[in-house]
Chains A and B, each alone.
Chain A
């Protein structure tokens, strides 16, 4: 940027949500023609920052400057009008609509209130040309295109406007190989046009290759920023985590010999692969790694009896477990789901009622609730898990994400499970609570519980697991013991590029 006024700048942004301080004085400055990478762990505040920059959220404190002038976006439309556009990982392309309609979505050109198709086609054609899709049929339905092309259509939609700042939120998270390259090419050429690009990615190698500048967010603060040349991957990781990974994740105790769960030729519903063979030991923690849509969640859910099997067997403690949620729960296999608010908790019930949600029969005597027993159960779990609530009667919806997650754990621990399955155990949880959840998982394993968790947070997978299974295209494509686990090796397996390190 060398002296020039940055196109878009944020200074000292603060944003608080109930229970979480998502941003705590974060700043960033992006110059025209630069690719500025924004990196950080899940929950570091990246998406909150994007939401503020795009007018979807207003900051509690701090300011946003456009060309050095303070601006205050009242909503996303004002940000768009000012030339700040974001493209998110979750595609907003409408599958049943044509390429043309998708590119022009939200910015219709009309003449006397009727769609001006000639003008629309011209604008769309031009924007598509800039993302390398110049020869795509405008009338084609978006669902017939590849994932990468749909991602490019999103970018074209942004370019069809007068965009000066393009924010890309993990555009390559689900892409690999040539598709990845095509996105990179577009990012470079867009920057070369003089547009400021903010690029969010978890793939630090990619960031090294693509970005000019980098800003690292941690706990809602920008802890480090500078030209990319000054950063290598280990340095970025250090800045993101804020300490040596080893201190958060001490080496786990060795697991027991006893096989708790054994899986033979297991194929989740819709899977026509060779099937999974897998043994899980008492006290063992196994991480499932893989990209979004790689099948980690499906595998976890099949273990939990949710979603059905195409074939194969699961046995717990030597006894076969039929497919089905109830059979799995009865066998002591329980799932802490990713969407805890949707699948884990009844937010409108008091905390005590969620703690006993899965073990209500044990709280009741002949159908009658024993309130004292329920309160005792709550107190036990509060103490064991460190749940911070004002009391057993507090509504669960009022707790912070980390405490809600502890309540989900408590709910299952009341049933004395043998196998604990967790899907994205720390998503949406702030850093302090994360460490507590990790310690809990370790503690439970040390007491003999077998744990399988799926996570897209590589730091978490590498740090917590004794063994890692890597998923790709619905199959387990790699198995790594703790001493062989490293983030890049996992990424290569997950993408199917090159040999494992």
Chain B
């Protein structure tokens, strides 16, 4: 491989998101200094935590060359289950959490089953799950979820420890754990190998279906956790709000440089993408662009990130010959 190519691909994958983050921070500081006042900062930090937790799960799925569009639905499902089961009572919370986790794992398994056993493209399989779960929520609750969120969840969603919002702490710990698993364990190695070349991995004795299924189930469980955080923060059930996290979790990972083609990307990159996206989103709110502007900017950034990735990919191709 020529050195210039190596540098360029390193730039695309690693340096660009970091550079993007710095640029956005500077631009935001200039145009809207109020962004870094405490109330906005709190929103940014919460966003980082919430998007971050989902993006970690999404990263696992992206690494096995999948994509999970059911994340938002699982978040909504979690809130609905918790509200319905506890009706605001803290005592019922543990069981409610278990129920939500079981439901989430069920959705993850369904995704995995469709993808592995039937060979359904992940995009289609998880989108179908998304529609299915959203449909069930709407049908059962008739559009008006019953019950309420127990105040115990408030700790998870809105409290602070040593001045740091709990969701951010949760994200930081999870990022560390997932990062170490990916980089330092045989499980992580199997995940990368499966994502890069499922056939070669299987032929080498790796049980790839198990690896892929683990990624989808883990992603769904992360979504359940994000659902608890979200419900704790806003304090009521809103299944609509969580839908955006589908896109945002994917966007964060991809902006950070995790490849949509599988097997390439690190937790560090995802964290970088999460920071970038969260700042960007809140900045857009500050600028008063509204939801439309937010989405447009988000889309543009994803396109840019994917553009950079494809370029580096084609460079690699030419090297591999």
- Report how far A392 CA is from B186 CA in the complex, Å: 17
Interface size class of B (residues with CB under 8 A): 20 to 34
Q: Is B321 an interface residue (CB 8 A)?
A: yes
- Report how far A326 CA is from B203 CA in the complex, Å: 9
Q: Is B197 an interface residue (CB 8 A)?
A: yes
Q: Smallest distance from the beta carbon of A162 to chain B beta carbons, Å?
A: 34
Question: Is there an interface contact between A325 and B199, defined as CB atoms closer than 8 Å?
Answer: no
Q: Smallest distance from the beta carbon of B243 to chain A beta carbons, Å?
A: 33
Query: Looking at the complex, which one of B184, B186, B187, B196 makes contact with A347 (CB distance below 8 Å)?
Result: B196
CB-CB contacts of B106-135 with A at 8 A, as 1s and 0s?
A: 000000000000000000000000000000
- Report how far A17 CA is from B185 CA in the complex, Å: 36
Q: Smallest distance from the beta carbon of A154 to chain B beta carbons, Å?
A: 27
Query: Looking at the complex, which one of A18, A329, A363, A364 makes contact with B319 (CB distance below 8 Å)?
Result: A18
Question: Is there an interface contact between A398 and B1, defined as CB atoms closer than 8 Å?
Answer: yes
Q: Which residues 303-321 of B have a CB within 8 angstroms of A? A: 316, 319-321
CB-CB contacts of A240-277 with B at 8 A, as 1s and 0s?
A: 00000000000000000000000000000000000000
- Report how far A242 CA is from B321 CA in the complex, Å: 28
Question: Is there an interface contact between B319 and A343, defined as CB atoms closer than 8 Å?
Answer: no
- Report how far A415 CA is from B207 CA in the complex, Å: 16
Q: Is B160 an interface residue (CB 8 A)?
A: no
Question: Is there an interface contact between B185 and A369, defined as CB atoms closer than 8 Å?
Answer: yes
Stretch at the interface among A59-67, A126-134, A353-361: A353-361
- Report how far A329 CA is from B201 CA in the complex, Å: 13
Question: Is there an interface contact between B263 and A348, defined as CB atoms closer than 8 Å?
Answer: yes
Specify which chain A residues have a CB less than 8 angstroms from the CB of B320 in the assembled complex.
18, 347, 397-398
**A343-B200, A346-B200 known; A357 and B319 CB under 8 Å?**
no
- Report how far A230 CA is from B159 CA in the complex, Å: 92
Q: Is A387 an interface residue (CB 8 A)?
A: no
Q: Smallest distance from the beta carbon of A16 to chain B beta carbons, Å?
A: 10
Q: Is B301 an interface residue (CB 8 A)?
A: no
CB-CB contacts of B174-213 with A at 8 A, as 1s and 0s?
A: 0000000000111111101100110111111111000000
Q: Smallest distance from the beta carbon of B4 to chain A beta carbons, Å?
A: 14
Q: Is B264 an interface residue (CB 8 A)?
A: yes
Q: Is A175 an interface residue (CB 8 A)?
A: no
Specify which chain B residues have a CB less than 8 angstroms from the CB of A344 in the assembled complex.
200, 203
Specify which chain B residues have a CB less than 8 angstroms from the CB of A18 in the assembled complex.
319-321
Query: Looking at the complex, which one of B184, B187, B205 makes contact with A358 (CB distance below 8 Å)?
Result: B205
Q: Is A106 an interface residue (CB 8 A)?
A: no
Question: Is there an interface contact between B319 and A325, defined as CB atoms closer than 8 Å?
Answer: no
Query: Looking at the complex, which one of B185, B193, B203 makes contact with A353 (CB distance below 8 Å)?
Result: B193
Q: Is A228 an interface residue (CB 8 A)?
A: no
Specify which chain A residues have a CB less than 8 angstroms from the CB of B189 in the assembled complex.
353, 356, 360, 369
Query: Looking at the complex, which one of A325, A363, A395 makes contact with B203 (CB distance below 8 Å)?
Result: A325
Query: Looking at the complex, which one of B197, B199, B204, B263 makes contact with A411 (CB distance below 8 Å)?
Result: B204
Write 20 A-B pairs (CB below 8 A) sorted by A numbering.
Answer: A18-B321, A325-B203, A329-B205, A345-B200, A346-B192, A346-B197, A346-B200, A348-B196, A348-B263, A348-B264, A349-B192, A349-B193, A353-B192, A353-B193, A357-B206, A360-B189, A360-B190, A395-B1, A397-B316, A398-B320
